[in-house]
Amino acid sequence: MAREIFNDMINWIKANKGKALGGIIGFIIAILVLTIGFFKTLFIIICIVLGIFLGSVDNKVEKIRGIIKKIFNSSNMD
């Protein structure tokens, strides 16, 4: 009985990967909000998104150097 339920659940997850992943992510975010608070959770999410963005940039070293140069060059224009 338990094995059948487990197999049905695995088959559902395989057929609905997006829904399953979204549910897991939502569950994790809910636990984080309840345990450490909204703003700390938001900070963690922002750091994760920034890390994914920086990790996926093509020629990331050159683009990061360009961003840093733009930031420091624009601040020197004052």
Return the closest-CA partner of residue 33 out of 42, 25, 24: 42
Distance CA 17, CA 74 (A): 45
Is the pLDDT confidence value at 3 over 70? Answer: yes
What pLDDT, on a 0 to 100 scale, did the predictor assign at position 75? 58
Q: Do the Cβ atoms of 49 and 43 come closer than 8 Å?
A: no
User: What's the start-to-end Cα distance of the chain, in Å?
Assistant: 72
Is the pLDDT confidence value at 29 over 70? Answer: yes
Distance CA 60, CA 48 (A): 17
Helix (H, G, I), strand (E, B) or coil at 37: coil
Is the pLDDT confidence value at 28 over 60? Answer: yes
Q: What is the pLDDT of residues 36-76, one digit of tens each?
A: 999 999 999 999 988 888 777 666 677 777 888 888 886 55
* Lowest pLDDT segment from 8-12, 25-29, 66-70: 66-70
Q: What is the pTM of this model?
A: 0.59
